[in-house]
Amino acid sequence: MWIEIKVTAQNEREAEAVAEVLQLFALDGEWVATEQLGDQNDVRANALLREVAVKLAIDAERDDPLFRQLIAEELGKNDLPSPTFHSVDETEWATAWQANFHPLQIGERFWVRPSWEQLDSNPDDLVITLDPGNAFGTGTHETTQLCLKQIEQYVNAGASALDLGCGSGILAIGAAMLGASPLLAVDIDHDSVVATRENARINAVDGKIVVKQGSLDVVERRDWDVLIANILAPTLIEMLTQGQLLDYIAPDGVLILSGILGVQSADLQQAIHQAGGILHAEFTQGDWIAQIVKHAHK
């Protein structure tokens, strides 16, 4: 038996704060799932609501009134909504979990599909097989989609590409399918490095991606054609202004940046200019944006 702890957050930002709190109560092998409410199978933009359900399933043996009280208190302390608790049996949980993930088309050619779903694809389609796990990036998040669409635009066969903050590896796998070479994926998080290697293997592109644990410190090459970073805005700003992020791309290379909330766009632009870059283009999806950045002298 499992106990599902569920909190309904009003928006993406609140959902992230809730997920952070719930994560404190998770053990190895238990992970926090978020699900934007609304009809996931409806492709219209307004089919998805702003509310996000944040869930953690824990082993029923760990459940007791004190445990519940601690979780409620921790959420309350952070001005977050109260949790609800209900028990689910294992198969119910697995089915409910799987019901949230369906093949998803992203951009013109990419599809992301969980391994348990069949997909009749066209010869031109690039199908990434990815199951939810403990690394970020199943394709359902707007920032991941924004990045994949730009990868489709900017990664040509033979272009060198760096995926900074690779999570599940979804973006690097997409770039590999477009023929990026060489291709490096890095993440500071050990689980993400493991997940990226495993997902690359499942998608038969493990020979095309080098995966390393770390950040810019483990990146030797300084002339990437395409550098993709889907990390939160404060980290991107620091990388631009203090980490010389722009120095990592070739003179006519591009940065594809996401993880940026619409309201943070101006702060990013300021950091881009300060770093000697120009904002070449900006794309919006939901609350999030992606920015394409080049060297200013080009």
Q: Give the interface with ligand SAH as residue ranges (CB under 6 A).
A: 135-137, 141, 143-144, 147, 164-167, 170-171, 186-189, 192, 215, 230-231, 235
Do 21 and 78 form a contact (C-beta atoms < 8 A)?
yes
Nearer to ligand SAH, 213 or 278 (CB): 213
CA distance 222 to 251: 10
The Cα–Cα gap between 224 and 210 comes to 14
Looking at beta carbons only, is 135 or 255 nearer to ligand SAH?
Answer: 135
Q: Which is nearer to ligand SAH, 231 or 268 (CB)?
A: 231
Q: Which of 19, 102, 90 is nearest to 56 (CA)?
A: 19
Please provide residue 37's backbone torsions phi and psi, each rounded to the nearest 5 degrees: -75, 160
Quote the least distance from Cβ 25 to ligand SAH, whole Å.
20
Nearer to ligand SAH, 88 or 219 (CB): 219
Q: Which is nearer to ligand SAH, 34 or 58 (CB)?
A: 34
Give me the residue label for tokens 């591009």.
254
Q: How far apart are CA 90 and CA 96, in angstroms?
A: 10
Q: How far is the CB of 118 from ligand SAH (least distance, A)?
A: 24
CB of 195 to ligand SAH, least distance (A): 9
Least distance from ligand SAH to the Cβ atom of residue 120, Å: 25
Closest CB to ligand SAH among residues 8, 215: 215
Smallest gap from Cβ 218 to ligand SAH, in A, equals 9
With respect to ligand SAH, which residue has the nearer C-beta, 135 or 268?
135
**Sign of the dihedral through C-alpha 14, 20, 21, 25:** positive
* Neighbouring residues of 1: CB distance < 8 A, sequence distance ≥ 6: 59, 60, 87, 88, 89, 90
CB of 237 to ligand SAH, least distance (A): 12
Q: Which is nearer to ligand SAH, 139 or 277 (CB)?
A: 139
Residue 88, Cβ density class (10 Å: 0-12 exposed, 13-18 middle, ≥19 buried): middle
- The distance of closest approach from Cβ of residue 177 to ligand SAH in the complex, given in angstroms and rounded to an integer, is 15
**DSSP assignment of 219-233:** -----EEEEEEE--H
DSSP 129: E
The helix/strand/coil state of 106 is strand
In terms of phi and psi (left: phi > 0; alpha: psi -120 to 50; beta: otherwise), the region of 93 is alpha
